[in-house]
Structure formats: C-alpha cells, structure tokens
Structure 1
Amino acid sequence: MYGWIWRHLPGPLPLRLVQALLLVAGVVALLMFVVFPWAEPLLPFNNVTTQ
C-alpha cells in the first residue's frame, strides 16, 4: 500500500518527501482530533480501581 501511494505522488524526490510528510501529518491530525476523541468514551481506561 505504501509503495502504491509513493508511486502515485507527483514530482521529483524532494517534492514526494514533502507530500509524504504532509500525508502523515494529515493522518495523525485526523486521528488526534476526530478518531481518538470519538473512541475515548468507549475505552475502559477511566474505570480504574485500586485495592
């Protein structure tokens, strides 16, 4: 899959590197601001008890 993405990025190597970094940053931002806040109430990490 990563090879497919790399082959479809236009431009020379420096431009491809910038585009790949922007894609990674976009995925991280999507996870941090959309996916993780949505999933956080569903996770059991707040139900911690100590005995």
Structure 2
Amino acid sequence: MYRFLWRRLPGGTALRLAVVLLLTGGAVAALWYVVFPWLAPRVPIG
C-alpha cells in the first residue's frame, strides 16, 4: 500500500518526502487540536 501511495505522489524523492512530511504534520495537527480536545471529555479516565 505504501509503495502505491509513494508512486502516486508527484516529483522526485525530495519533493515526495516533503509532501509526506507536510501531510503527516497536518494529520498530527488535526488530531492534536480538533479530535483530542473533542474526545477528552468523553473518555472515562480517572
């Protein structure tokens, strides 16, 4: 699956790596600032 995604990205290795890092950072930011704050009051932890 990752090989398929890697081949679908545009550009050479450097550009592909930059795109992967940006997409990963965006996903982490979305989780950190949107999903986790929404989920925190709903999780019964201590």
TM-score, reference length from structure 1: 0.77
Q: What value does the CA root-mean-square deviation take over the aligned residues?
A: 1.2
Hey, which bits of structure 1, 4+ residues long, moved more than 6 A?
A: none
Give the Å deviation of 1:13.
0.4
Give the Å deviation of 1:14.
0.5
TM-score, reference length from structure 2: 0.84
- The equivalent of 1:12 in structure 2 is 12
Structure 2 residues not aligned, in runs of 5+:
none
Give the Å deviation of 1:3.
3.0
